[in-house]
Chain A
């Protein structure tokens, strides 16, 4: 390793494997790992599915020791990745990722103005307790079929983080994407994933043979909520609602998921009562609950009920109460329905305009759309 301090900064690429042993997924994961470490000053760590890992797992212990920038790739929405890591003390700022889900990109542009205006209406936990000033870039491996686009994005981030020269180039690439794999050399001295581009002997690929770390753990599948503290307002609705003792508070009276494994598998009820949409269940089938960027166009109105899905005419709070009852009964306890000490009922069912705006402003604005604008003119 070079001892020169200016070249000692490194970028860590973390690959969180899928839960299944799907060969296509494995190939994407392995290709990214193998090719990322060809880049100078890039290390790669391959870990099991990060949501399943326990706090004392070797994977998290390793990741906690890394204080430089990270790119984390996994089969989860980026928000879910970020806040799972945050919970484990692997914290940082949201690195700006340019590789987006193609279906969401268009709307991102439209929505940016609204987001800016809408922010800071309410104090969030992450504002009170700022995270360290290092970037964590999270990428959802589901958004592209092969490794190439991810490697290109890693290269862009590496340039930005290690040489501070990513932006212009990245913008060009963003506007004129290429199909190359970013392995090409351009001879201009920018960081390249091609080993031939390395001019320093100690940075040749041979020096990177130990840059790839594969952590072989086999965690059981888990199910628990993950709190997005950039949204959480510490309102305590979740701790009041959950009757399984999942939530608690820390010494500073901030909400936390204290007993994740008390959570009932498949039950997303608390995320439905959260006024700030801050609770993520990364494995839930509904994207908005699994951590999709609901404020950037990923949110879709589910019309299944209107098109004849088995009849459950219920609002989110009723759904939450039903799901909680189902779990209470499964656990051999008595159902409580809607009437279990919930002050949250009022704000959820008919939010006051101000409350709505502060709870999830971009989401409501987005989803409203022209259709809802028309609905608003109707008397309900």
Chain B
């Protein structure tokens, strides 16, 4: 595997492995063949969230999911967010490990800390790592404004 790309979030280096695709809402996606993808959070997402201690899905395996559909929620010590589907597809599996201990995402975000698997995935919204990195350059500005806006609110 080639060297990961790095996106700098201030002083923090978010590493982006080149062996997979990414969604604009910060999931990575590994093609497992036949239109089935495994998804997890990118280093950028994990850095924004930091210590994750709560993860809940509102959907179950066997359900068809629309792109950007709200599929659950996630909470860390300092932040919270809804979970929004990175693409459309059929939910095949949710990683029982991260349900049991969401901290697994912090420990191994690109490996054992995967989140879910979808089949019949529409690959169209998924980006190659270079394009994701370029997207982050724009998203980072918005992220900073969002966080600062709320912190000052």
Docked-complex contact B48 and A306, CB < 8 angstroms:
yes
Rounded to whole angstroms, the CA-CA distance of A271 and B60 in the bound complex is: 36
Q: What residue of chain B has the Cβ atom nearest to residue A318's Cβ?
A: B149
Task: Flag whether A88 is at the interface (Cβ < 8 A).
Answer: no
Q: Determine the chain B residues whose CB is within 8 A of the CB of A371 once the complex forms.
A: 47-48, 50, 78, 147
B139 touches A306 (CB 8 A): yes
Task: Judge if B4 is at the interface, Cβ distance under 8 Å.
Answer: no
Task: Say yes or no for B153: interface residue by CB 8 A criterion.
Answer: yes
From A176-184, A203-211, A233-241, A307-315, give the one contacting chain B.
A307-315
Q: Which residues of A contact B11 (CB under 8 A)?
A: 374, 377
Surface stretch bound by A, among B29-37, B80-88, B89-97 = B80-88
Whether A306 contacts B80 in the complex (CB less than 8 A), given A313-B142, A367-B150, A375-B144, comes out as no
In the complex, A302→B82 CA distance in Å? Answer: 9
- Taking a contact as CB atoms closer than 8 A, the residue among B68, B78, B144, B146 that contacts A308 in the complex is B68
7 shortest interchain CB distances as A-B pairs: A308-B25, A308-B84, A374-B10, A303-B81, A367-B151, A301-B79, A315-B149
Q: Is B49 an interface residue (CB 8 A)?
A: yes
* Residue contact B48 to A380, C-beta cutoff 8 Å: no
| Residues on A with beta carbons closer than 8 Å to the beta carbon of B86 | 308
A306 in contact with B142 given A351-B152, A371-B78 (CB within 8 Å): yes
CB-based nearest A residue for B141: A380
Query: Within the assembled complex, what's the spacing in Å between the Cα atoms of A102 and B152?
Result: 25
Would you list which residues of chain A between 282 and 323 have a CB under 8 Å from chain B?
288, 300-310, 313, 315-316
A302 with B150: CB separation less than 8 A: yes
Say whether B147 contacts A375, CB under 8 Å: yes
A364 contacts B152, C-beta separation under 8 Å: yes
Contact between chains at B84 and A301 (CB < 8 Å): no
Within 8 A of B (CB), among A344-380: 351, 356, 360, 363-364, 367-369, 371-372, 374-375, 377-378, 380
With CB as the reference atom, state the residue of chain B lying closest to A378: B10
Q: Is A272 interfacial (CB 8 A cutoff)?
A: yes
Q: Which partner residue on chain A sits nearest B76 by CB separation? A: A300
Overall SS of chain B's interface: mixed
Chain B residues positioned under 8 Å from A301 (CB to CB): 78-80, 146-147, 150-151
Contact with A along B11-27 (1 / 0, CB 8 A): 11000000000011110
Instruction: Give the docked Cα–Cα distance between A127 and B110 (Å).
Output: 53
Q: Which of B47, B148, B149, B153 has the most CB of A within 10 A?
A: B153
B99 at the interface (CB under 8 A from A): no
B64 proximal to A (CB < 8 A): no
Let me know if A198 is at the binding interface, CB within 8 A: no
Contact with A303, one of B79, B144, B149 (Cβ below 8 angstroms): B79
Q: Is A192 an interface residue (CB 8 A)?
A: no
**A to B CB contacts below 8 Å, 5 in the list:** A302-B80, A303-B146, A306-B139, A363-B153, A372-B151
Given contacts A301-B80, A308-B84, A372-B151, 16 further A-B contacts (CB under 8 A): A302-B79, A303-B79, A304-B81, A307-B25, A307-B81, A307-B82, A308-B23, A308-B85, A309-B70, A309-B81, A367-B151, A371-B47, A374-B9, A374-B12, A377-B11, A380-B141
Q: Say whether B6 faces chain A, with CB atoms less than 8 Å apart.
A: no
Query: Are A375 and B148 in contact, CB atoms less than 8 angstroms apart?
Result: yes
Residues of B within 8 A of A378 (CB): 10, 144
Contact partners of A272 in chain B: CB under 8 A? 153
B residues in contact with A306, CB < 8 Å: 25-26, 48, 81, 139, 142-143, 146
How far does the Cβ of B27 sit from chain A's closest Cβ, in whole Å? 9
Q: Is the CB of A316 within 8 A of B151?
A: no
Q: For the complex, is A135 an interface residue (Cβ under 8 Å from B)? A: no
Give bound CA distance, A310 to B84, whole Å.
Answer: 9
Contacts of A302 in B (CB 8 A): 79-81, 150
Question: A300: which B residues are within 8 A, CB to CB?
Answer: 75-76, 78-80
C-beta contact mask, B112-153 vs A, less than 8 Å → 1, else 0?
000000000000000000000000000101111111111111
Task: Kindly state the separation between the CA atoms of A235 and B68 in the bound complex, as whole angstroms.
Answer: 41
In the complex, A277 has a CB within 8 A of chain B:
yes
Task: Give Cα A303 to B80, complex, Å.
Answer: 6
Q: State in angstroms the CA–CA spacing of A360 and B153 once bound together.
A: 8
Contacts of B143 in A (CB 8 A): 306
Q: Which residues of A contact B80 (CB under 8 A)?
A: 300-304
